[in-house]
């Protein structure tokens, strides 16, 4: 199966267990892997035969920047649901959400959750 991969899309959202995270907000990164048939797009060179990745970016932005979740697991699940509902040609979707600076008193570059959903 072919893949469309979108990496390190950056958004500002209001997600977290702590109240100040949901009030002040913070940066989040989203990576996507969409498994779908890209052969017609490759043959025809026509946008309408594929998925417009600028449109995907806007759909993810709508979820990350306009909703609020305590857990990035729930954020990732919502992104997956929105994209699978919108793009029926996607057979498998992998969503990675990274919180680059979690508010802990320990030092690491961030936390990432990854989920993989298959169309039923």
Catalytic (active-site) positions: 99
Distance from C-alpha of 120 to C-alpha of 111, rounded to nearest angstrom: 29
Neighbours of 67 (CB within 10 A): 15
CA 112 to chain centre: 12
53-66 and 72-86 helices cross at what angle (nearest 10)? 140
6 burial via Cβ count (<10 Å: 0-12, 13-18, 19+): middle
């Amino acid at each position: 199966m072919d893949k469309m991969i979108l990496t390190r899309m950056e958004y500002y959202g209001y997600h977290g267990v702590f109240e100040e995270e949901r009030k002040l907000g913070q940066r989040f990164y989203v990576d996507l892997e969409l498994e779908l048939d890209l052969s017609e797009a490759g043959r025809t060179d026509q946008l309408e035969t594929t998925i417009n990745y600028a449109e995907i970016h806007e759909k993810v932005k709508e979820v990350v920047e306009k909703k609020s979740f305590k857990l990035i697991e729930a954020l990732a699940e919502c992104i997956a649901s929105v994209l699978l509902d919108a793009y029926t040609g996607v057979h498998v979707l992998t969503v990675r959400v990274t919180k680059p600076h979690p508010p802990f008193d320990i030092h690491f570059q961030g936390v990432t959750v990854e989920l993989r959903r298959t169309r039923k």
